[in-house]
Structure 1
Amino acid sequence: MSKRTGLFSVKGILAAVGILFSTLVTAQGQASKQVVDKIIGVVGDRIILNSDVQNELNDAPRRGETLPPNANCIIMEQIMLSKILALQAERDSIPLTDEEVEAQLDMKIRYYIQQFGSQAELESVAGKTVYQLKDDQRPLIKEQMLAERMKNKVVSGVHITPTEVKTFFEKVPADSLPFLESELEVGQISILPSASKDVDDYIYNEMVNYKKQIESGSTTFDALAKRVSEDPGSRERGGLYEINRSDKSTWDPVFLSTAFRLKAGEISLPVKSNRFGFFLIQQISRRGDNAKIKMILRIPPVTENELKEARLKLDSVHAEIEAKKISFKDAAYKYSDDENVKNYGPYVLNRDGSTYVNIDALDKDMVNTIKDMKVGDLSRPVNFTNDQGKKGVRLVYLKSRSEPHRLNLNDDYAKIADMALGQKKNQELDKWLQKKIPTFYILVDKDAAGGCPSLLKYQTTENRGF
């Protein structure tokens, strides 16, 4: 299992394989994938396809990752390991709720929307809607989350001492130490004020008028959506979406209940969502828990009065934090309107879940806010616009900022300790696998096994391949 204990050359691959989500984004829309797929591995009742490995190999360079010569073996081994862990998690009845899976899917979707620039561009590249992407990836995300929880259970008793950290670092050849770009830890406490009742009423009445225009035949739903909808992900498609009744983390319950209550061709009255704005919904068709709909989104604009009230509230929060009456983290949980805080905390996250991010992971408003801040500074309340186009106010906290440098114990002790702990956990995981592998039915394709000797240790059948 030596490949899993490497330090730097395979780090990007291991992070990427953690959830093979980006594979879907590029592979779905690529006409180049014309070879007949084949099964190259079986773990229990789960199969591994050649495309699972090849798509990840093709996608890694797009993420800026340099692949080692045996990258296909590393990826294959990680996929097999993930399936073994997930199956054992099911044997052990490790809990995982549908809501947790949906939250993880949402986080991945938001990350890729940010990477591609818009939901429309993501869907164009993938050749599927966001909801089809979610449906395709839901089983894989669930498997990966179960695998991670099983792994955490196996290694929960593993700890590291300062002496072990120092010994670990001293064994790394000097020419293998990576050069680290500047990284930051940035948190936020945000308030998204609601528009006034007068503005809400105005938008509602406008949307009632849209409904009348469509039903009278003076215009079409498509034409109105393209002209007035404030949802960039569907505007150019005339508001078209495919939705699932269980997708409550993406849509408000009132939106879903309205959409599934409609008959084919029927248009709803305006529906208010505190998270987004007002929706006008038309059902196109429905099959069970899936429906095809069109929608128009209008976001009631907040005025300077609402933003001023939000700033005053955050001024008080700022004073509490500065007076050390409450920590930044606790204040975020108490006051922030950001729905991700409850699940992921108040800090901007890297794709692997780390709070250390490059500056290009931050939105433009935040980059402008922190440019003159020092480590430990908490900004005064500043205006911003979120991914859904809603205006708000936030406090920004710069927890740390590193200068570009070679990895060293003085500046990077926490990172090195994590690496040392990771290696020790992998060793513990190896011991666990040696006991567990014989309890699973595992078969590896003879061609894959021939090119990757490290896979042979997983084989539990008499036939060496198929």
Structure 2
Amino acid sequence: MNLRFMKKMNKKLLVLAFFTAFGFLRAQDTDEAVLMKSDTTSSTKKVKLDGIAAVIGDYVILDSDIEKTLIDLRSQGASTQDITKCSLLGKLMEDRLYAHQAVQDSLLVSDDQVNAQSDRQIQQLVSQVGSMEKVLKFYKKTDVESFRTELFEINKLRMLSEKMQSSIVEEIEVTPEEVRQFFGKIPEDERPVFGAELEIAQIVKQPTAPEEEKQKVIDRLMQIRQDVLENDASFNVKAILYSQDPGSKSKGGFYSMTRETPFVKEFKDVAFSLQQGEISEPFETDFGYHIIYIEKIRGQELDLRHILLIPEIPQIALDTAVKELDSIRQQILDGKYSFADAALNFSDEKETKFDGGLLRNPINFDSRFELTKMDPALYNQVRNLKDEEISRPIKEDDQRGGPPKFKIMKISNRYDEHKADFAKDYLKIQELALREKQFKAIKDWMDEHIDDTYIHVNTDNRGCDFANKWVKE
């Protein structure tokens, strides 16, 4: 697998990220679905309802599924110029093989997890277009229940597929020697070119609420808890009325979670210390103060509801944070501190302060950010900064609902567009080497399980030049 192939695979993965899965049906060994219909002469004739493109294990892929996927890609703004019916069918077959084998291997996802994901998607859609009625009209659905049913089927297949793929590659690693060999095999004229990059450092001040405001929130949560326990008030209703968590407020504070769910440690520690039906005492996280009610325990999975209240931060605390940053900035400009020393001594952001304030790319934890791939919000904060210039204080709101923070920023280094260098770009080359090894593992897995799984491809599609050997001799 050379770099040209890797580039094709990357492009393929980018396009396939838009795919949705349709056609969750029981397998039948037939080339087309037909409907028996009576005419006026009482004779019957076959009317073609929908062609069956392929069957993978217990999953059927209809011709209409391919058309739906193509329409979905276009609706999301993806270019479909180079996408063929055969390539779409091949991807839908891959998804179903993953899902089929996940069930065989007992890599299951619960209905509650699927419903929670569907609820989040519906909330996002409603917030984007304004109402549930507009969502139903856009997706040409007559009622909410039919929309939820189809969304459930789509999400379950996708989540099974993702779980299977993750299990294939989760333990794959590359050694430094494998990275060196991978890079050495790339011809000089085919080595990747990395775009212009920045290294960015910041010093953060996080305003905090005074103790009296924190106590007000704690007392309010205790009142809510007492009302539920002693007066049989509804925790669900209380969460809808009072919670300040935008992600769960409309659902009565509901979350379904396991120990692997990406919640902050303090939240998970409390949640998994409670018994079914128990309500926690108020506790603090970076987001504010919470109480948790455990609705149901299913093995290692919890259904819970929570209420988040955020102590009010007075304007004087916000103004103080800005003044402190202005003072720190001036001391750096006057030469009293280097930016790195000021970050270590004054920054409230523990993730960056011990590294000179240096930001890490969340994709690969490298210190560099490629300009064409930067988060737009981060790019807008630094795009006008010159080398060694330090920004004025910038306010940054927490999209997750937490309190705002203020920061000053600096571009520590700029790297022009350049051909890959093993020493300078080791982390990026390591990522490419790992991806190649993962692709090979997935290809080997695919070949093995295609042989072991019932697969039927409609005669009209057997001439496709599939990436995998779907058509068996």
Q: Distance in 2 between matches of 1:47 and 1:213?
A: 50
TM-superposed deviation, 1:375 = 5.5
Partner of 1:396: 409
For 1:184-199, list aligned pairs within 5 A.
190-199=204-213
- The separation in 2 between residues aligned to 1:425 and 1:205, in whole angstroms, is 51
Q: What's the secondary structure of 1:281's corresponding residue?
A: strand
Q: Does 1:323 align with 2:338?
A: yes
Could you list the runs of 5+ residues in structure 1 that have no partner in the other structure? Answer: 28-32, 88-104, 171-179, 403-409
- Of the candidates 238, 243, 248, which is equivalent to residue 234 of structure 1? 248
| Pairwise CA distance, 1:204 | 0.3
Partner of 1:374: 386
Which secondary structure state, in structure 2, belongs to the residue aligned with residue 156 of structure 1? helix
Q: Determine whether 1:294 maps to 2:325.
A: no
Question: Which residue of structure 1 aligns with residue 25 of structure 2?
Answer: 36
Q: Which range moved further: 53-62 or 187-196? A: 53-62
1:64 counterpart = 2:53? no
Q: 1:73–1:280: structure 2 CA closer, same or farther, 3 Å change rule?
A: same
CA positional deviation for 1:203:
0.8
Q: Distance in 2 between matches of 1:314 and 1:263?
A: 50
From 145, 157, 164, give the equivalent of 2:180: 157
Contact kept, 8 Å, 2:396 with 2:405, in 1: the verdict is yes
Match of 2:13 in 1: 14
For residues 204 and 363 of structure 2, the distance between their equivalents in structure 1, rounded to whole angstroms, comes to 19
**Cα RMSD between the aligned structures?**
6.2
For residues 387 and 300 of structure 2, the distance between their equivalents in structure 1, rounded to whole angstroms, comes to 49
Change (3 A) 1:244 1:138: farther
What are the within-5 Å matches in structure 2 for residues 11-410 of structure 1? Answer: 11-15=10-14, 17=16, 23=19, 33=22, 36=25, 50=61, 59-67=72-80, 68-70=82-84, 72-73=86-87, 76=90, 116=124, 137=159, 140-141=162-163, 143-144=165-166, 146-147=168-169, 150=172, 152=174, 156-158=179-181, 160=183, 164-166=187-189, 190-215=204-229, 217=231, 220-239=234-253, 241-247=254-260, 249-258=262-271, 261-264=274-277, 266-270=278-282, 272-303=283-314, 304-305=316-317, 308=320, 312=324, 319=332, 323=338, 336-337=349-350, 346-347=359-360, 355-356=369-370, 361-363=375-377, 366=378, 369-370=381-382, 372-374=384-386, 377-389=389-401, 390-398=403-411
Instruction: Return the letter of the residue paired with 1:299.
Output: I
- Asked if structure 2 preserves the Cα contact closer than 8 Å seen for 1:350 and 1:357, the reply is no
Sort the Cα spacing of 1:413 and 1:378 in 2 relative to 1 into closer, same or farther, 3 A: farther
CA 1:148–1:194: 2 relative to 1, 3 Å: same
Q: Which amino acid aligns with 1:323?
A: S
SS state at 1:282 partner: strand
- Return the letter of the residue paired with 2:395: N
**After superposition, what is the alpha-carbon deviation per residue over 1:50-76, rounded to whole angstroms, capped at 9, x for unaligned?**
599888756544553223234753884
- Between the aligned partners of 1:257 and 1:78, the Cα distance in structure 2 is 41
So what's the TM-score if we normalise by structure 1?
A: 0.57
Give the number of the structure whose residues are more often helix, by fraction.
1
Paired residues, number: 390
Contact 1:269 1:280 survives alignment (8 Å)? yes
Shift in CA distance, 149/290, structure 1 to aligned 2, threshold 3 Å? closer
